[in-house]
Structure 1
């Protein structure tokens, strides 16, 4: 079952998780102060306090680092660009190759400030031809198309409830030129607050070479325009489709059909707008200020998004922290090559890792299927074929760009900046009118088998399900077990939604094992006298047991899995199981039995403790003994996969 929901912590594997409640084993309440802190007594209680290093620089939040930190990760850029261009891996990675070409052109000897000023001056040339308000809007289109700035409006390629699953071009109010959000700006009436805004804007104009008095006057002009723009904002506005003919009738002075077609690179008859009232009033707003004031405002928009401003902000920060400045070439590459950096990062830490993981999971399944006693030889042949051939759809946190069409010049940094800006905008347009049943990849943490392929969404490629810098043990215990969970669903003889290929003998043998699993989970208590219903959660319990078992076997195919080096004081095998617990440790405990509602997914504590008691490797990893509370005799451990 697919859920188009948006919480990374509450959505999982096709059904809503509801952050499930803790369970008590053998009618004993889970009191963290009373439980013994050993793995064999209660693995959930043992695992929740264990700290695992995740390979993140300086203990950074994993999702913050993923989404925001790449452009300033100079060490990572240096690692890439210092590799020889003759390196085979580099030649096979187009994004990395282009990034190195860009970096080499940035090593032309020009200083960061010299280049920043020249780029700013080049960008300002496009304001000289503005003679009327139509020219002004054409300049806004140019700035947007070349990723220079986004004044007065912003373009996104997205889908809406009424767009029939299509990604469509959508215009909204400008997204990044206000010093405050619109509401905050209108509330910033105190003189001290407005003084600081004006001070920041004045500093930007002085940075561009304007005299102090002129910069101050320009800042007041910008503030007046910003106030009027803020008054037209409507945070609750929704998207609606508008014909360009109707828009033109509302704004006869502005050639909207030509402007929109220029922006999108092809003629169109209609456009989606968020806050239509703003766009209908824009022509009137333009007429409230002289054209010269609007040129000042566009200059401010260029400045706020410029490399010049970035360098200024870094200089201010370095004076405060006394950090050493990075090289000019690294500065230039980090600012203009953000998307290239993301793509090389994606290849280095996502695609390669996930591809290897998928390959190892398929090998592990194939090897294990051949040993299963309950499955007949004909069924094994079919199951192995399904594992080998099932397609995977992986939506990564960043859109994958190929960059084959990006032409860079090894010695001309200015042409390269222009080419890269235009390429990135065109990549945005490439998704125009492409149908998709997928939500945006960063929106959900979800995965499911739809009967034909296994789909993994981008939310699962972020913490707490995947850590790009972590060791393999962590990622096989999290994402690896999640993917294997879905692979297990695909092969489950008892999954009624899928046509079975098993004979009756296979199904009866598997049903016997399933009955044992139902009994195990039905012996867990959610709260008070409320038992967990092992029959309701059976499908997920089977997939959890199979997923974690197969992820562990796949992990043993890795270099780390074949070694015995400890990290954080834990062996590699221990880290696999601790990582699994890390995903499920945050469990909602209902306030009363009356507030608990049965769910096909078991409580998080059951997902941690339930599978491991049936996995021999867990006993060996933590030296679980017969005297421990969770110990199961080996002949009682349920072996389904």
Structure 2
């Protein structure tokens, strides 16, 4: 849910394939002037040799030596950590990613509090905007005093709608936020990566997934009950009496359930081809007559567009039918709900408390996150690169960037070797694969060209108005891409982010500064630790270019089948083996991982581990074979791999992950690839019949 979060934006069709959940953030047009970051001017650091030393990189106290590494390696590597690190009350899970995010947030908090206290920052500067945005978000007294003052004009605008034309005008206005109904934005054309295209896709739901509206199991019903209570209580806070609030809540849920029935499920949404449906504007107007697309295009500055790429045509047809069939009074309550729900975080405490009560049922969190955490998340979401420039000046080592760059190139060489060594790919397909591998663009740390926020006005007057301003700026930033050359300097994540991603349309792998720190990367650690950590992360993102969907995109980022028919069939047969393995994993009673939903991430984990190990074996440490803390270099590599996936999760959050997240739970991300990995079995002396050893006939191997 929104933790002081930036107003939601439609996910782009060329979704980012990230290492962990939350990666697919909207990329926006960068209208910039080049700025020099002081981190780029510091003395170039030498790359460490990486031979290692005792007590660094692998935390021995995390190990549970009562468990055999050949029985459950995740438990062996992390058992004591899991036992000694209960989930904090404000969190839904706790693991290595959370620990590093916590560390980065502490740095960010210091920077933000300093910026907020500085009243001498030059007006219009990034420091002024970051400081004022954070200060307004932290000013609970002002938020309470304002009440609905800054929201009321927008509520009045919805209330004044009288007919379908009024609804169409409201949706067409790019200044309006939280509109629901459907996604509308500009992004790269998946089949012509050098051009931007107008895109439309399904949307309009509040719950995390369509299935939450449609399933009849006890948990789904409990979530819908909690959702109704949340709706009723928010409508009451807007001034409705009990009966009216209940009626309006039922209206919104009825409309969203109708939308859910017309929506594709998450597995279907992974298929890049079926979610690419280009048509003329004239055809779209005919197919979706009640959306008034000519008005929406005109108001968005896109009147010159001749074509639209539609993600899910059946959904858009249903949305069009609903606009004609649903009573205007009901549509107004739907718009009213989506407006207020999208900005709850900047409203008085009563609204935030209601949202948290719903979040508790959905995710299992025991208490709200502290206000500064929510204010940081909002600042990072709204002004990510303005804050990012300040952040990397204070908290990013040039040595980390240099080492990461070298590791990426080492990984690229190792990947090329694995592709060339495959016995199932034809020479023609191998040539295309190597062409794509060599074309990968690598971005590390922070953008070379920062976003220009000079047109964005931020003040300390109102946290809510700042959200509206940033949403309007971001929408304009996105829409004005149309007709311009594709900007390949853009980043889809901010510098402090503990994550990484692959962008298919840009054919790039991106590693923000936030993840280039322990336990993923440690300049003091040996190569085994760093290749098992950040090396596997790099390999993971590279493999997304060759997973079941990434493989459909060529070296220039275009959706094009470059495989021979026979090679494509061989690949999918191998991928299906992985899918079946993960289908069998069950983190909770009656809950099974969805091998099709998680296919891309599972393939990326298996490929990432494979390539990282190949690259690691070339290092002096691997060749020397010297043990550290009682473990061989190979064993330390695998321990590092397992320790980056350490995590405790609440059952509610784990259920939600399995239902909605393309990433498998941590224990299976650790153990799943290793069960297929003979080098792991050899390193720890595992034998046929051990739980960590799949029989040769059932093993998955692609690269």
TM-score, normalising length from structure 2? Answer: 0.50
* Consecutive unaligned residues in structure 1, runs of 5 or more: 10-36, 365-390, 448-453, 486-537, 553-569, 591-595, 597-601, 610-641
Do the aligned partners of residues 484 and 407 (structure 1) sit closer, same or farther apart at CA in structure 2, a change above 3 Å counting? closer
2:94 aligned partner: 60
Q: How far apart, CA to CA, are the structure 1 residues paired with 2:16 and 2:458?
A: 44
8 Å Cα contact 2:108-2:391 kept in structure 1: no
Task: Check 1:187–1:79 CA distance in 2 against 1; reply closer, same or farther (3 A cut).
Answer: same
Choose the corresponding residue for 2:461, options 366, 389, 412.
Answer: 412
Matches within 5 A, 1:429-578: 429=479, 434=486, 456-458=509-511, 467=519, 473=525, 476=530, 543-545=615-617, 547=619, 578=636
Q: Does residue 583 of the first structure (1) align with residue 641 of the second (2)?
A: yes
Shift of 1:260: 2.6
Matched, 1:238 2:248: no
Residue 400 of structure 2 corresponds to 357
Contact 1:244 1:269 in 2 (8 A): yes
Q: 1:544-580, CA deviations, whole angstroms, 9 ceiling, x for partnerless residues?
A: 3555669x9xxxxxxxxxxxxxxxxx99x99999467
Q: Give the deviation of 1:292 after TM superposition.
A: 1.7
Computed over aligned residues only, the root mean square deviation of the Cα atoms, in angstroms, reads 6.1
Tell me the residue number matched to 2:475.
Answer: 425
Deviations 1:513-562 (A, max 9, x none): xxxxxxxxxxxxxxxxxxxxxxxxx9998843555669x9xxxxxxxxxx
| 2:152 corresponds to 1:121 | yes
Change (3 A) 1:606 1:163: farther
Matches within 5 A, 1:334-353: 334-335=377-378, 338-340=381-383, 344=387, 348=391, 353=396
Residues 164/455 of structure 1: CA separation in 2 closer, same or farther (3 Å cut): closer
Establish whether residue 263 from structure 1 lines up as the match of residue 263 from structure 2: no
Superposition deviation, residue 299 in structure 1: 0.5
- 1:18-417 residue pairs with structure 2 within 5 A? 49=76, 60-63=94-97, 78-83=109-114, 98-106=129-137, 110-115=141-146, 117-142=148-173, 145-146=174-175, 148-158=177-187, 162-164=191-193, 166=195, 168-177=197-206, 179=207, 181-188=209-216, 196-235=226-265, 236=268, 238-252=275-289, 254-263=291-300, 267-307=304-344, 308=347, 309-314=351-356, 326=370, 334-335=377-378, 338-340=381-383, 344=387, 348=391, 353=396, 355-359=398-402, 393-394=442-443, 402-413=451-462, 415-417=465-467
Give yes or no for contact 1:156–1:171 (8 Å, CA) kept in 2.
yes
Measured at CA, do residues 57 and 255 of structure 1 come closer, stay the same or move farther in structure 2, by a change above 3 Å?
A: same
Farther off after superposition, 411-420 or 158-167: 158-167
Contact preservation (8 Å) 2:185, 2:198: yes
Aligned-pair CA distance for 1:301: 1.2
Alignment of 1:7-22 (within 5 A): none
Distance 2:249 2:445 in 1: 42
Change (3 A) 1:323 1:362: closer
Deviation at 1:322, TM superposition (A): 8.3
> Does the CA contact (< 8 Å) of 2:382 and 2:467 recur in 1?
no
Deviation at 1:213, TM superposition (A): 1.7
User: In the aligned structure 2, how far is the partner of 1:245 from the partner of 1:473?
Assistant: 60
Shift of 1:215: 0.8
| 1:212-262 deviations in Å (ceiling 9; x for gaps) | 121122123223322332333233462211211222234555531221342
Displacement of 1:155: 2.9
1 CA distance for matches of 2:217 and 2:263?
A: 17
Matches of 2:238 and 2:448, distance apart in 1? 34
Counterpart CA distance in 2 for 1:271 and 1:462 is 37
| CA radius of gyration, larger in | 1
Size of the alignment, in residue pairs?
Answer: 457
Deviation track 1:95-127 (CA, whole Å, cap 9, x = no partner) reads: 665321212345667443444623332331332
TM-score normalised to structure 1 length: 0.54
Distance 2:231 2:381 in 1: 25
* Distance in 2 of aligned mates of 1:281 and 1:220: 19
Q: Alignment partner of 2:304: what SS? A: coil
Q: CA deviation at 1:305?
A: 1.5
Mapped to 1, the partners of 2:19 and 2:373 lie a distance apart of: 34
Q: Which runs of 5+ in 2 are unaligned?
A: 1-14, 21-64, 269-273, 408-439, 540-609, 643-669, 685-703
Structure 2 residue matching 1:117: 3-state secondary structure: coil
Cα displacement (A) at 1:294: 1.0
Deviation at 1:295, TM superposition (A): 0.8
**Could you say if the C-alpha distance between residues 608 and 109 of structure 1 is closer, same or farther in structure 2, counting changes exceeding 3 Å?**
same
